């Protein structure tokens, strides 16, 4: 059974990682892996030797007749579906809120704040904006926003590729020190592995170094030596109110968890609901939210934003997380964690390796697997290290993070161009940040 599941996962992940070659959306193999993995468990319950209880996390022999075993498998699947749904609902709420801000052109309000005419100064400005903005929204959306911003300022294509590369580094670094800045940190937060203040305290400086080291080196790169030719464009602060309001609602989510102990997804849905009330009021609608009609004016901004949410991405996460849950339920991931410890490999070194691996393998299954490997208390140094390495390691390759894939598509960045020019800088920043975090632990 174990061999069949591992073969299924490897095959599925090869298809996922080569998406750009065959053009099959990664959602499809992820969903197929999920269904086939749990289907194998239910069809061959007597091939399962051990089972990890989702309630007390105790690994014990898998016994009972066929009906009892299948019932336990179904019960476990339902448990993991509930935990996965918490993450997915959080992401849907966050994505919709971002789309609502964009509906009112809130992100364009950032443009008038950039007044520099020097390429290197612009690089620092964009990177710092991406670093802090990604901690509030997320690294994927931040990359979209920052590319849209610098396109208004930079005309030369080669220059835009460089700016895109540094935006990816900054956005991934910024998402690593915030519980709502990256899918992986959100997973750790919702899974009660980390809390807000310790995460920010322990990962902020390493994440900042991960961004600053490449920026310092960029001072001597020829591409940033010449002056910047910026087209004249009338500054507009349209959407500034919506941008500030949206950021405020994002910040409300961790506050609600800390004060009212609301689960993060409930806080995010509350933030979405409050902003939607404002959006509908501003649009002066006279119809109900549920009555969407393309011929009616004005169109509901809430319904329009919901339609723009990337459902394939949500389903991809569903497939990956529940596939990993199948391995976890059979005790395979826990056993791997024990093997790592018995081999004398420290968890700190292992997390560093996982960070580099996240440049090739999506960090979502890596983090999901690591969460099931180790039985460590909340806010253990290992979890903070995992948040940093999984979040920033993806910058090493253009395909290693959602932010990189978005930049690759928007600016048509080739894998080899990024590998030759950005990868050495991103890797050096990652090593410096990792070393700093190891020394400070």
Task: Look at residue 235 in the predicted model and tell me its pLDDT.
Answer: 54
Buried b (16+ CB within 10 A) or exposed e, 198-211: ebbebbbebbbbbb
Task: Name the residue with tokens 């992100």.
Answer: 107
Task: Look at residue 230 in the predicted model and tell me its pLDDT.
Answer: 59
Q: What is the maximal distance between C-alpha atoms in the chain?
A: 75
Task: Look at residue 316 in the predicted model and tell me its pLDDT.
Answer: 84
Answer yes or no: are the C-beta atoms of 30 and 319 closer than 8 Å.
Answer: yes
CA distance 146 to 123: 11
CA distance 133 to 175: 9
- C-alpha distances in angstroms, 419 versus 277, 354, 396? 45, 19, 8
Question: What's this model's pTM, rounded to 2 decimal places?
Answer: 0.79
Answer yes or no: are the C-beta atoms of 147 and 167 closer than 8 Å.
Answer: yes
CA distance 104 to 99: 9
**Sequential DSSP letters for 137-152:** S-HHHHHHHHHHHHHT
Q: For the chain, which residues make up each domain, given as ranges?
A: 2-440
Q: Is 400 left (phi over 0), alpha (psi -120 to 50) or beta?
A: alpha
**Phi, psi for residue 422 in degrees, rounded to 5:** -100, -35
The predicted-structure confidence for 237-249, as pLDDT tens digits, reads as follows 677 888 889 888 8
- Radius of gyration in angstroms for the set of CA atoms belonging to the chain, rounded to a whole number: 23
Task: Name the residue with tokens 């849209």.
Answer: 148
Structure tokens belonging to residue 377: 């208390």
Q: Is 64 left (phi over 0), alpha (psi -120 to 50) or beta?
A: left
**Sequential DSSP letters for 372-417:** HH----TT-HHHHHHHHHHHHGGGGSTTSSHHHHHHHHHHT--HHH
In terms of DSSP bridges, do strands 50-52 and 59-61 run parallel, antiparallel, or are they unpaired? antiparallel
The predicted-structure confidence for 271-303, as pLDDT tens digits, reads as follows 999 999 999 888 865 445 455 555 555 578 888
Which ranges of the chain have pLDDT less than 70?
20, 56, 229-237, 284-298
CA distance 90 to 180: 9
Answer yes or no: are the C-beta atoms of 301 and 106 closer than 8 Å.
Answer: no
**Sequential DSSP letters for 108-132:** GGGGGG----BHHHHHHHHHHHHHH
CA distance 189 to 293: 38
CB contact set of 213 (below 8 Å; sequence gap of 6+): 425, 428, 429, 432, 433
- C-alpha distances in angstroms, 224 versus 216, 319, 410? 12, 42, 21
CB contact set of 31 (below 8 Å; sequence gap of 6+): 315, 316, 318, 319
CA distance 156 to 148: 14
CA distance 207 to 77: 36
Dihedral (CA of 378, 252, 145, 309) sign: positive
């Amino acid at each position: 059974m174990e061999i069949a599941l591992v073969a299924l996962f490897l095959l599925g992940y090869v298809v996922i990682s080569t998406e750009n070659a065959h053009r099959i959306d990664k959602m499809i193999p992820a969903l197929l892996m999920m269904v086939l993995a749990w289907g194998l468990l239910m069809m061959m319950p007597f091939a399962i030797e051990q089972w990890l209880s989702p309630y007390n996390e105790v690994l014990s022999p898998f016994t009972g007749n066929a009906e009892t075993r299948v019932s336990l498998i179904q019960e476990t699947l339902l448990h993991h579906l509930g935990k996965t749904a918490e993450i997915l609902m959080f992401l849907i709420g966050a994505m919709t809120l971002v789309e609502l801000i964009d509906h009112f052109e809130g992100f364009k309000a950032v443009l008038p704040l950039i007044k520099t005419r020097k390429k290197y100064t612009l690089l620092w400005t964009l990177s710092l904006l991406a670093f802090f903005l990604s901690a509030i929204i997320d690294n994927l959306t931040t990359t979209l926003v920052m590319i849209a911003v610098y396109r208004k300022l930079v005309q030369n294509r080669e220059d835009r590729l460089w700016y895109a590369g540094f935006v990816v580094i900054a956005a991934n670094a910024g998402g690593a020190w915030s519980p709502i800045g990256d899918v992986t940190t959100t997973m750790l937060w919702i899974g009660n592995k980390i809390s807000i203040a310790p995460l920010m305290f322990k990962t902020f400086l390493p994440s900042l170094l991960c961004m600053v080291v490449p920026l310092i080196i960029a001072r001597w790169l020829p591409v940033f030596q010449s002056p910047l030719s910026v087209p004249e464009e009338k500054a507009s602060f349209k959407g500034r109110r919506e941008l500030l309001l949206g950021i405020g609602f994002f910040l409300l989510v961790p506050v609600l968890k800390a004060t009212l102990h609301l689960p993060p997804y409930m806080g995010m849905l509350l933030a979405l609901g409050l902003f939607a009330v404002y959006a509908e009021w501003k649009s002066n609608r006279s119809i109900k939210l549920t009555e969407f009609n393309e011929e009616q004016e004005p169109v509901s901004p809430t319904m329009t934003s919901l339609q723009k949410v990337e459902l394939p991405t949500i389903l991809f996460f569903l497939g990956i997380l529940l596939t990993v849950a199948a391995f976890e339920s059979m005790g395979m991931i826990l056993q791997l964690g024990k093997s790592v410890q018995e081999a004398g490999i420290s968890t700190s070194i292992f997390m560093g390796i996982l960070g580099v691996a996240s440049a090739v393998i999506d960090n979502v299954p890596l983090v999901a697997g690591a969460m099931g490997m180790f039985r460590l208390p909340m806010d253990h140094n290992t979890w903070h290290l995992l948040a940093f390495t999984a979040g920033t390691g993806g910058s090493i390759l253009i395909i290693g993070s959602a932010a990189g894939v978005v930049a690759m598509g928007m600016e048509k960045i080739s894998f080899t161009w990024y590998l030759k020019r950005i990868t050495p800088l991103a890797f050096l920043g990652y090593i410096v940040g990792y070393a700093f975090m190891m020394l400070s632990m």
